[in-house]
Amino acid sequence: MRIGIGYDIHPFVAGRPLILGGVEIPFERGLDGHSDADVLTHAVIDALLGAAGEGDIGHHFGASDPQYRGVRSLRLLEESWRRVKARGFRVGNVDATVVAEAPPLAPHLKGMAANLARALEMEEARINIKPTTAKGLGPLGSGEGIACLTVVLLTEAGGDGA
Ligand code: MG
Protein backbone atom coordinates (compact mmCIF):
# COMPACT_ATOMS: atom_id res chain seq x y z
CA MET A 1 0.00 0.00 0.00
CA ARG A 2 1.11 3.55 -0.66
CA ILE A 3 -0.47 6.77 0.60
CA GLY A 4 -0.35 10.28 -0.79
CA ILE A 5 -1.50 13.68 0.44
CA GLY A 6 -2.72 16.57 -1.68
CA TYR A 7 -3.45 20.19 -0.81
CA ASP A 8 -4.67 23.03 -2.97
CA ILE A 9 -6.20 26.47 -2.56
CA HIS A 10 -7.71 28.86 -5.12
CA PRO A 11 -9.07 32.40 -4.67
CA PHE A 12 -12.57 33.41 -5.67
CA VAL A 13 -13.00 35.75 -8.61
CA ALA A 14 -16.06 37.22 -10.31
CA GLY A 15 -17.20 36.01 -13.70
CA ARG A 16 -16.16 32.37 -13.57
CA PRO A 17 -18.20 29.24 -12.84
CA LEU A 18 -17.54 27.40 -9.57
CA ILE A 19 -16.39 23.85 -10.39
CA LEU A 20 -15.72 21.33 -7.61
CA GLY A 21 -15.19 17.66 -8.34
CA GLY A 22 -16.36 18.36 -11.88
CA VAL A 23 -19.72 19.67 -10.66
CA GLU A 24 -20.77 23.21 -11.57
CA ILE A 25 -22.18 24.70 -8.36
CA PRO A 26 -24.50 27.72 -8.55
CA PHE A 27 -22.71 30.64 -6.84
CA GLU A 28 -22.04 34.29 -7.54
CA ARG A 29 -18.31 33.72 -7.98
CA GLY A 30 -15.97 31.01 -9.23
CA LEU A 31 -12.39 30.05 -8.48
CA ASP A 32 -9.53 31.70 -10.34
CA GLY A 33 -6.90 29.60 -12.08
CA HIS A 34 -5.30 28.58 -15.36
CA SER A 35 -7.54 25.50 -15.69
CA ASP A 36 -11.16 25.31 -14.51
CA ALA A 37 -9.63 25.83 -11.01
CA ASP A 38 -11.31 22.70 -9.61
CA VAL A 39 -9.50 22.77 -6.26
CA LEU A 40 -10.91 19.41 -5.10
CA THR A 41 -9.83 17.58 -8.24
CA HIS A 42 -6.40 19.24 -8.09
CA ALA A 43 -5.88 18.01 -4.51
CA VAL A 44 -6.96 14.49 -5.55
CA ILE A 45 -4.48 14.57 -8.44
CA ASP A 46 -1.65 15.63 -6.12
CA ALA A 47 -2.51 12.90 -3.61
CA LEU A 48 -2.71 10.31 -6.38
CA LEU A 49 0.59 11.35 -7.93
CA GLY A 50 2.17 11.62 -4.49
CA ALA A 51 1.16 8.10 -3.52
CA ALA A 52 2.68 6.77 -6.73
CA GLY A 53 5.87 8.82 -6.33
CA GLU A 54 5.07 10.65 -9.57
CA GLY A 55 5.71 14.24 -8.47
CA ASP A 56 2.84 16.72 -8.53
CA ILE A 57 0.23 18.29 -10.79
CA GLY A 58 2.48 21.20 -11.82
CA HIS A 59 5.15 18.77 -12.98
CA HIS A 60 2.78 17.01 -15.40
CA PHE A 61 0.42 19.84 -16.35
CA GLY A 62 2.32 23.14 -16.39
CA ALA A 63 0.38 26.14 -15.08
CA SER A 64 1.63 28.27 -17.98
CA ASP A 65 1.11 25.64 -20.71
CA PRO A 66 -1.47 27.04 -23.17
CA GLN A 67 -2.88 23.57 -23.87
CA TYR A 68 -4.20 23.46 -20.29
CA ARG A 69 -5.87 26.89 -20.31
CA GLY A 70 -9.45 26.36 -19.12
CA VAL A 71 -9.02 22.59 -19.20
CA ARG A 72 -11.49 20.42 -17.28
CA SER A 73 -9.52 19.19 -14.29
CA LEU A 74 -11.33 15.84 -14.43
CA ARG A 75 -9.49 15.31 -17.72
CA LEU A 76 -6.19 15.91 -15.91
CA LEU A 77 -7.28 13.41 -13.26
CA GLU A 78 -8.05 10.85 -15.96
CA GLU A 79 -4.60 11.39 -17.49
CA SER A 80 -2.95 11.12 -14.07
CA TRP A 81 -4.85 7.92 -13.33
CA ARG A 82 -3.76 6.37 -16.65
CA ARG A 83 -0.16 7.05 -15.65
CA VAL A 84 -0.57 5.57 -12.15
CA LYS A 85 -2.67 2.63 -13.35
CA ALA A 86 0.07 1.73 -15.85
CA ARG A 87 2.39 1.30 -12.86
CA GLY A 88 0.15 -1.52 -11.58
CA PHE A 89 -1.75 0.36 -8.89
CA ARG A 90 -5.43 0.62 -8.08
CA VAL A 91 -7.07 3.12 -5.75
CA GLY A 92 -8.00 1.81 -2.31
CA ASN A 93 -9.88 4.91 -1.18
CA VAL A 94 -10.00 8.69 -1.42
CA ASP A 95 -10.79 10.99 1.50
CA ALA A 96 -11.12 14.74 1.02
CA THR A 97 -11.87 17.76 3.20
CA VAL A 98 -13.08 20.86 1.37
CA VAL A 99 -12.80 24.11 3.35
CA ALA A 100 -15.40 26.55 2.04
CA GLU A 101 -17.28 29.21 3.99
CA ALA A 102 -19.81 29.28 1.13
CA PRO A 103 -21.66 27.99 -0.79
CA PRO A 104 -23.15 24.93 1.00
CA LEU A 105 -21.62 21.86 -0.63
CA ALA A 106 -23.70 19.05 0.90
CA PRO A 107 -26.20 18.86 -2.01
CA HIS A 108 -23.34 18.30 -4.47
CA LEU A 109 -21.17 15.73 -2.69
CA LYS A 110 -22.70 12.72 -4.40
CA GLY A 111 -22.19 14.23 -7.85
CA MET A 112 -18.57 15.06 -7.06
CA ALA A 113 -17.88 11.54 -5.78
CA ALA A 114 -19.49 10.04 -8.88
CA ASN A 115 -17.29 12.15 -11.17
CA LEU A 116 -14.11 11.31 -9.28
CA ALA A 117 -15.04 7.61 -9.15
CA ARG A 118 -15.59 7.55 -12.92
CA ALA A 119 -12.23 9.20 -13.60
CA LEU A 120 -10.43 6.83 -11.24
CA GLU A 121 -12.35 3.71 -12.38
CA MET A 122 -13.29 2.89 -8.80
CA GLU A 123 -16.36 2.42 -6.64
CA GLU A 124 -18.04 5.64 -5.55
CA ALA A 125 -18.44 4.15 -2.05
CA ARG A 126 -14.65 4.35 -1.58
CA ILE A 127 -14.67 8.12 -2.06
CA ASN A 128 -15.48 10.33 0.93
CA ILE A 129 -15.83 14.11 0.64
CA LYS A 130 -16.28 16.21 3.76
CA PRO A 131 -17.28 19.87 3.50
CA THR A 132 -16.27 22.14 6.37
CA THR A 133 -15.79 25.85 7.04
CA ALA A 134 -12.95 27.92 8.50
CA LYS A 135 -15.29 29.23 11.24
CA GLY A 136 -14.78 32.77 10.07
CA LEU A 137 -11.02 32.69 10.63
CA GLY A 138 -8.50 34.10 8.18
CA PRO A 139 -8.86 34.48 4.40
CA LEU A 140 -10.78 31.21 4.01
CA GLY A 141 -13.11 32.25 6.81
CA SER A 142 -13.85 35.55 5.13
CA GLY A 143 -14.75 33.70 1.94
CA GLU A 144 -11.77 34.71 -0.19
CA GLY A 145 -11.32 31.23 -1.61
CA ILE A 146 -11.63 27.48 -1.15
CA ALA A 147 -8.99 25.03 0.03
CA CYS A 148 -8.91 21.25 -0.11
CA LEU A 149 -6.91 18.51 1.62
CA THR A 150 -7.00 14.98 0.25
CA VAL A 151 -5.45 11.60 0.92
CA VAL A 152 -5.37 8.75 -1.59
CA LEU A 153 -4.45 5.18 -0.75
CA LEU A 154 -3.06 3.04 -3.56
CA THR A 155 -2.79 -0.73 -3.49
CA GLU A 156 -0.93 -3.06 -5.81
CA ALA A 157 -3.35 -4.39 -8.42
CA GLY A 158 -4.26 -7.95 -7.49
CA GLY A 159 -3.34 -7.33 -3.84
CA ASP A 160 -5.91 -7.94 -1.12
CA GLY A 161 -6.22 -4.25 -0.13
CA ALA A 162 -8.81 -3.32 -2.76
MG1 MG B 1 -4.87 24.11 -8.27
Domain for residue 31, yes or no?
yes
What distance in Å separates the CA atoms of residue 99 and residue 140, rounded to the nearest whole number?
7
- DSSP states along 20-37: ETTEEE--SEEE-SSS--
Domain for residue 162, yes or no?
no
Predicted confidence (pLDDT) at residue 159 exceeds the cutoff of 60: no
Cα 99 to averaged position of ligand 1 atoms, centre (Å): 14
Instruction: Find the domain containing 113 and state its range.
Output: 2-156
Q: How far is CA 19 from the centre of its chain?
A: 10
Cα 38 to averaged position of ligand 1 atoms, centre (Å): 7
- How do residues 23-33 score in pLDDT, each as one tens digit? 999 999 999 99
pLDDT of residue 111: 98
Domain for residue 161, yes or no?
no
pLDDT of residue 162: 44
What is the percent of the chain with per-residue pLDDT over 90, rounded to a whole number?
Answer: 89
pLDDT band, very low/low/confident/very high, at 161 (cuts 50, 70, 90) = very low
Domain for residue 28, yes or no?
yes
- Find the mean pLDDT for residues 82-103: 97
Predicted confidence (pLDDT) at residue 119 exceeds the cutoff of 90: yes
Whether the full predicted model's pTM is greater than 0.85, yes or no, is: yes
The number of folded domains in the chain is: 1
Cα 64 to averaged position of ligand 1 atoms, centre (Å): 12
Q: For residue 102, give the CATH number of its domain.
A: 3.30.1330.50
